[in-house]
A and B are shown apart, each in its own frame.
Chain A
Amino acid sequence: MSPTTAPGQRAAGPARGSRGADVWREVTHHGLFWPLLALVLLILACGVASPGFLDVTVRDGHLFGQLVDLMRNSATPLLLALGMCLVIATGGIDLSVGAVMAIALAVSLTYLDNAADPSAPGTVLTAVLLGLAVGGLGGMFNGAMVAGLGIQPFIATMILMVAGRGIAMLITQGQITTVTSPPFKSIGSGFVLGVPTPVVIAVVTFGLVVLLVRRTALGMFLESIGINREASRLAGVRSRRTTWTVYVIAGVLAGLAGLVYGAPTMAADANNIGLMKELDAIMVVVLGGTKLDGGRFYLGGLLVGAMLLSTLERAVIIFQLPSQTTPLFKALVLIAVCVAASPTLRAMLRGRRRADRSDAPAAPVETTPAQEVTA
């Protein structure tokens, strides 16, 4: 459809002008400009409100500071959003990631709880692999429903979203399973060369996924499926198998997110682990400039989205606002970002919205530079 064929020509036009105004427009039209601006402003505002917020120091041989905390807290939403982004690219959605987090953690901790020595490296490794495998299993189920049976992704993944917590409850027998296992705990609260382990895990995973979708044809397949499933199938893309694969990837990543999120407290709380995280993940994807319609997707934007989300949560306390206002504060910032980034609004402000440009809303996303695609 037009959004993918048009961008090359259209983006090339104004950019060649290379006047200041054009550059400015180019920059502000970038899908990531407003979220990034909001993130930077928010962090700076925190720095002003609370001196020392921006300091990063080395304590006990590892990095310490609010910014480090923010990065660590961003790891979970980033992992979830990575999987979610790929699924959304195919025109689908995965509502089950929060519940899959809970199941994966429940399985891992229950295994550790029953193990003879929960601290043995082999045991911990098995527990982690089990958690990831269970996440993958959840993804296989979702993928089979969506790609195999052709059920609407929203409904298909809602099954696991609703039933998933029940499964997790069954595994933990309705209790909050708590275990003591320092190696497992370090997945969430440890450090690798001074950097928090969750950050390392998230960045490495991010790198792997970027390589997978951008260095192979997978990314292109995903976009073609998202844009027109039938056409891509006719063009020879194995759309079913590819779709199934991304749900499995999303499931494994959700399992990983569950382990990273739950490891610091070592408590498998089936009711609360990952609660509403699927919505956080969707929000991160959208903030990152990917549209829910499917098609083109931007992994780089997820980094900004995830950081913005965790910074928002922290800023409420830094600004010493009462916790009652947290949802309101989050909503206000997100509305501001979305409105600012709205191409329709911009077009209206420019007063250049002509009838023949009725496809204008897609324009800014198209102008996102090619580096995203090849990165």
Chain B
Amino acid sequence: MKGNTRTRTAVAGAISAITILALAACGGGNDTGAGGGSTGDSGGGSGDSIRVGFSQLGAESGWRTANTESVKASLTKDAGFDLTFVDAQQKQENQIKALRDFVAQDVDVIAFSPVIETGWDEVLQEIKDSGIPVVLVDRTVDTTVDDPYVTWIGADFKQEGTTAGEWVKENAPDAKIFELQGTLGSGAQVDREAGFGDVVGDQIIGKASGNFTRAEGKTAVEAALQAYPDMTMIFTHNDDMGLGAIEAIEAAGKVPGKDIQIVSVDGVRDGLQALVDKKFNYVVECNPVFGDQLADLIKKVADGEDVPKETIVIDKAFDQTITQADVDARAY
């Protein structure tokens, strides 16, 4: 590639474009083959460890922090990985820069949790041209690039929404629900809303976004309590916004979990604590501790083994029968 850029003149530009196209076609033909090839390279260079570039989207919630810790704890030197971890601080441009750096470093496998779904066409094409296999973590992408990644591991957001909806259908079929949406356009918001709406869509009386944060969840619920006085339940797309909702409900002189039930998705410790305290009514877990599953997957990808296109992380769900001991045992 270096020689290519050096000789890139007006005329040679056309030739190199054709070369890149040919490379792209090659990469598209056998992703896993390309992955195997680059493992060979690193095997000759720096021992047997698999060089992984991981771009985390940021640290926007306790969930993300737990996920980061799990990834770092699993992709260790002892386990045979050489991990380059880059935090994108929730900015797509940071993430794209990190991905390009990974390509420049010629890592064996690139893993990343995209900040948002769109806008990845160019960089994914570059990665594909370089022949490095991509493992998508947690979130998905919407791209025009064919076959942009080898495999995806993460939770099934839609299923989480459906699970929450089914609990509502069974336990509170008359509830009038206000839906506290996550950051609009994020995979978790879109899919949880869709999954929940499929089951109990007709019970939803209003929606507003709280951007997945406590402060904005609180403000949104303050207003919603006024705008939708007959609301009896809040379905929140994550625990943090639900915790903000508790404060708004209590400030309004109502009892969270009783006057206004709260159904949440996530299962971070503070959220489960609220469940123990009977302020939340139901929490669908979105398990962040899947570093071990990710490590297995990356190993297989690096070895060129066939992997399933999707690996769903197993989620649990909790109701108020959860005990304090369960919460205290929580890793995050």
Contacts and interface: CB of A to CB of B under 8 A. Distances in A.
A175 interface: yes
B252 A323 contact: no
Nearest to B224: A317
A141 B225 CA distance: 43
Nearest to B222: A69
Nearest to A53: B226
Interface string A307-348: 000000110111110111010000000000000000000000
A73 B247 CA distance: 14
Interface residues of B, number: 37
Interface string B202-224: 00001111010111001110111
A242 interface: no
Interface string A184-197: 00000100000000
Contacts of B206: 317, 320
Contact of B60 (A52, A272, A314): A272
For chain A, the bracket of interface size reads: 35 or more
Considering residues B62, B213, B227, B251, which has the most beta carbons from chain A within 10 angstroms of its beta carbon?
Answer: B227
A261 B213 CA distance: 13
Nearest to A66: B226
A189 B213 contact: no
Contacts of A326: 209
B55 interface: no
B184 interface: yes
A317 B220 contact: yes
A265 B218 contact: yes
B61 interface: yes
Given A265-B215, A269-B213, A272-B213, A324 B184 contact: yes
A176 interface: yes
Given A264-B247, A271-B60, A323-B184, A50 B226 contact: yes
A176 B59 CA distance: 7
B90 interface: yes
B82 interface: no
Contact of A323 (B87, B207, B226): B207
A176 B58 contact: no
Contacts of A52: 226, 229
A327 to B, nearest CB: 10
Contacts of B211: 272
Contacts of A324: 184
Nearest to B189: A323
Interface in B47-75: 58-62, 65, 68
B223 A314 contact: yes
A165 B89 contact: yes
B220 A189 contact: no
B89 A271 contact: yes
Nearest to A261: B215
B59 A73 contact: no
Contacts of A271: 58-60, 89-90
A265 to B, nearest CB: 4
Given A317-B206, A320-B227, 15 more contacts: A52-B226, A64-B252, A174-B59, A174-B68, A176-B59, A178-B270, A261-B215, A265-B243, A267-B214, A272-B90, A314-B222, A319-B227, A323-B207, A323-B208, A324-B184
Interface of A: 49-50, 52-53, 59-60, 64, 66, 69, 73, 165-166, 169, 174-176, 178, 189, 261-262, 264-265, 267, 269-272, 313-314, 316-320, 322-324, 326
18 contacts: A50-B226, A52-B226, A64-B251, A66-B222, A166-B89, A169-B89, A174-B87, A176-B65, A189-B251, A265-B218, A271-B59, A271-B90, A317-B206, A318-B223, A319-B227, A320-B227, A322-B208, A323-B184
